[in-house]
């Protein structure tokens, strides 16, 4: 009885939002560096980069794989300088099977080439559900930001998560951020609105072997009602409705997001 009670309490504690972790001054310096693109810096109030990476537990000597960094390289501008002396930053780019993926790859290459001194050695890998992400057990962290809905839409979520699991060392961390769906709404398995229920995500990720290690509300936005004509892309920075009700959506800001940490046993 006492053992069951203790286990239940541990499960409850893991489900509670984590307290804010202290931010490494070197990480804050990477966030504050003036060489970051102005468009990226403008999104910091919504994306909370220092607090998010501190919650995941990234250190200067970590081996970090970022999934689909995009042509803008928002996280690249922070992670590459932070890891360049003692760690490794590996950008996992999507397979160039579409025009969008090709543009992303080209934009990323230009971003890195233009910041070689600040970024140091940036490694790249090809990301696809049909192939290994990295040598088995080689990474301390796999980080992914607002990508889960894409894999659900393609029917590739489970295979993708298994690739992450294989790439991580025992004790390695999967850090994931995603647009958070309404608990009261049934989850669309294709996530066509871009939103994913937090409990749905936790169950899915645990199903491939990960253990849920905690959540953070650092990227929460209670103004997000999640009921827009063009899904999450109605909000900034996408503004799919262009000038229709733009001030309204600008006042809401970017989406409400869950930020979750999982560990490979």
What's the pLDDT score for residue 43? Answer: 97
Confidence of residue 98 (pLDDT cuts 50, 70, 90): confident
Which of the four pLDDT bands, split at 50, 70 and 90, describes residue 9? Answer: very low
Q: How confident is the model at residue 132 (pLDDT cuts 50, 70, 90)?
A: confident
Using an 8 Å Cβ cutoff, are 174 and 210 in contact?
yes
pLDDT tops 50 at residue 15: no
Span of 97-106, 155-164, 243-252 with lowest mean pLDDT: 97-106
Mean pLDDT of 191-219: 98
Quote the CA–CA distance of 203 and 208 in Å, as a whole number: 9
Spatial CB neighbours of 220, under 8 Å, sequence gap ≥ 6: 180, 256, 257, 258
pLDDT at position 44 is 98
**Residue 31: which pLDDT band, with cuts at 50, 70 and 90?**
very high
- The reply to whether the predicted model has a pTM over 0.85 is yes
Cβ neighbours around 154 below 10 Å, total: 12
The per-residue pLDDT for 7 is: 41
- Residue 33 confidence (pLDDT): 93
Angle, helices 76-83/99-113, rounded to nearest 10 degrees: 50
Interval 102-120: pLDDT, tens: 998 899 999 999 999 999 9
The yes-or-no verdict on residue 174 having pLDDT over 60 is yes
Q: Any long-range contacts for 126-132 (C-beta under 8 Å, 24+ apart)?
A: 126/92, 126/93, 126/94, 126/95, 127/67, 127/68, 127/92, 127/93, 127/94, 127/95, 128/94, 128/95, 129/154, 129/156, 129/159, 129/160, 129/163, 130/159, 131/163, 132/163, 132/166, 132/167
Predicted confidence band of residue 97 (pLDDT cuts 50, 70, 90): confident
Phi, psi of 231 (to 5 degrees): 60, -155
Q: Please give the domain boundaries of the chain with CATH numbers for all domains.
A: 2-263 (3.40.50.150)
For the cut 50, the answer to whether the pLDDT of residue 11 exceeds it is: no
What's the CA gap between 236 and 43, in Å, rounded?
A: 10
Q: Provide mean pLDDT across the span 51-57.
A: 98
pLDDT, residue 19, reads 62
In the predicted model, what is the mean pLDDT of residues 30-37?
94
Average pLDDT, the chain: 92
Q: Kindly indicate the confidence band of residue 12, based on its pLDDT and cuts at 50, 70 and 90.
A: very low
């Amino acid at each position: 009885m006492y053992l069951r009670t203790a286990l239940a309490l541990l499960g409850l504690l893991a489900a509670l939002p984590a307290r804010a972790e202290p931010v490494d001054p070197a990480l804050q310096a990477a966030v504050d560096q003036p060489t970051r693109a102005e468009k990226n810096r403008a999104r910091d109030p919504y994306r909370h980069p220092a607090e998010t990476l501190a919650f995941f537990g990234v250190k200067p000597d970590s081996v970090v794989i970022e999934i689909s960094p995009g042509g803008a390289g928002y996280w690249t501008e922070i992670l590459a300088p932070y890891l360049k002396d003692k760690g490794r930053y590996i950008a996992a780019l999507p397979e160039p099977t579409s025009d969008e993926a090709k543009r992303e790859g080209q934009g990323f290459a230009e971003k890195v080439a233009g910041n070689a001194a600040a970024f140091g050695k940036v490694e790249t890998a090809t990301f696809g559900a049909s192939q290994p992400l990295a040598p088995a057990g080689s990474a301390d962290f796999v980080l992914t930001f607002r990508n889960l809905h894409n894999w659900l839409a393609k029917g590739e979520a489970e295979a993708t998560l298994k690739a992450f699991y294989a790439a991580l060392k025992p004790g390695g961390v999967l850090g994931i951020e995603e647009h958070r769906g309404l608990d009261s709404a049934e989850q669309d398995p294709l996530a066509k609105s871009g939103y994913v229920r937090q409990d749905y995500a936790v169950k899915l990720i645990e199903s491939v072997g990960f253990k849920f290690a905690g959540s953070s509300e650092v990227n929460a936005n209670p103004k997000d009602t999640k009921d827009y004509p063009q899904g999450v892309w109605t909000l900034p920075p996408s503004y799919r409705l262009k000038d229709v009700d733009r001030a309204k959506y600008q006042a809401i800001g970017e989406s409400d997001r869950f930020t979750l940490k999982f560990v490979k046993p």
